[in-house]
Structures are given as C-alpha cells and as structure tokens.
Amino acid sequence: MAHPSDPLLLRVVVVAVATVVLLPSPPVAGDPDLLQDICVADLTSSVKVNGFACKATVSEDDFYFKGLGAPGNTNTTYGSVVTGANVATVPGLNTLGVSMSRIDYAPGGVNPPHTHPRATEMVFVLQGTLDVGFLTTANKLVAKTIAAGDAFVFPRGLVHFQKNSGDGPAAVISAFNSQLPGTQSIATTLFAATPDVPTSVLTKAFQVGTKEVDKIKSRLAPKKQT
C-alpha cells in the first residue's frame, strides 16, 4: 500500500483535485425543472420567489394571448413599439422559460440600444427591412441588414439594436428563452434613473458637459400624468 507521502500518490491526488476544480460547471437552465404540469402565475400574490407563485384556479385564458397579430402604435419617441407576450401578459408561461414579443417600426424608427439580462433573443422579420446588430464585450459590432423572412440572433446580455432602414413600416416577432427576459434601454437606464445617476459620473463617462447631460435627462424624463 502506498504511503501518504509517496510522490507518485501525491501527484495523482493533485491531478485529481485539479481536474475536479477545472471541469466546467453544469449548464444553468433559464428555469428549474418543473415539478408539476403547470404553475400559472398569480400576479396578485405577495409571495416573492424566482418567478411567481402558482394560483389554484386556472383557465384556458391563462395560456392565451392575441396581442401579436396586429401592428402596435409606432407614434412614440423612437418610432417603435414593443408588444410583449411574457408571463406578465400570459400567466401560463410561469416557469416555462419562453416568451415572445412583436416589435413594430415606423419608417426610420429604431429600437434603441438595450440588453435583455435574462435571455437570448431571436427575431424573425414579418415585413420591411432592418439594420440590426449587437456589440460584444470586446466592443466589436456584429451587424447585418435583414428583410422579410430573415432571422437574426442577439446573444444574452449583449447590447443590441434594430433600425427600420426602409421607406415603409417594418415588424418582427421576437422569441426569448425566458418567461420574463427583462429590458434595460441604455439611454433610459443611465439618464432617466430614479434616483438620478450623478451628473458628474455621466459627464466623465461620456466626456461631455453638464448642460448636455441635463438636456438628455430632460428629454428622457418620464412624462408626467395630467
């Protein structure tokens, strides 16, 4: 029997430990495995979990949504509008790890740079022509012009955008591997946060003056209800 101080035995132990430590971790799923057939979200529950509590009484309407069939109103600041079919509008999606959206764009409309921290996105063009792209963490732009019938993927968490480059309206259907992918619009996140991101931070980050920062903040501030 080998002695604990035997050099060969020590090398074997070191290699074994290093192998365990360096092995890649198991892939992390977007949602845990289901423990029941369905878990329709109780959007009124005060229980806070990674998802929503399950409600006791469900119906077919919890799994139904017809909001993706018609164009949305693109008379917005950016000339685009997103209609989401996620757990907030389709409670039956709770724990299922998928959702969809429809995005409509007026001519020249843009879905400004943003991220989805909890999902990869894949868009399918229904109509029109779009300039799309995403940025890697090495600041490399991956961009392409896509048209009706084309699909394009935006990796999870990376900043991306779409712009209608045609003369007519454009629309896409987006698919996500999360029931609630979340959206952080870069400009709104930085310039319309509550409380405010300090102006000194923004002037330093963007290498502009206080007046420019204040002007952007005023334009992106939420409209007050009257």
pLDDT tens, residue by residue, 161-181:
999 999 999 999 999 999 999
| 3 known member of a binding site | no
Query: What's the CATH number where 149 sits?
Result: 2.60.120.10
State whether 90 and 198 are in the same domain.
no
Q: Is 116 annotated as a binding residue?
A: yes
Query: Mean pLDDT over residues 116-142, rounded?
Result: 97
Q: Is 160 annotated as a binding residue?
A: yes
* 164 labelled binding-site residue: no
Q: 21: pLDDT confidence band, cut at 50, 70 and 90? A: very low
Residue 13 in any domain: the answer is no
Task: Look up residue 126 and give its amino acid.
Answer: L
Altogether, the residues listed in the chain come to a count of 226
Name the nearest CA neighbour of 100 among 5, 29, 187, 171: 171
Task: Say if residue 206 is in the same domain as residue 161.
Answer: no
pLDDT-based confidence at 29, cuts 50/70/90?
very low
121 annotated as belonging to a binding site for a ligand = yes
* Range(s) of the domain holding residue 69: 60-182
pLDDT tens sequence across 58-97: 999 999 999 999 999 999 999 999 999 999 999 999 999 9
Mean pLDDT of 133-140: 97
**Tokens 């369905």 belong to residue:** 38
The pLDDT of residue 2 is: 55
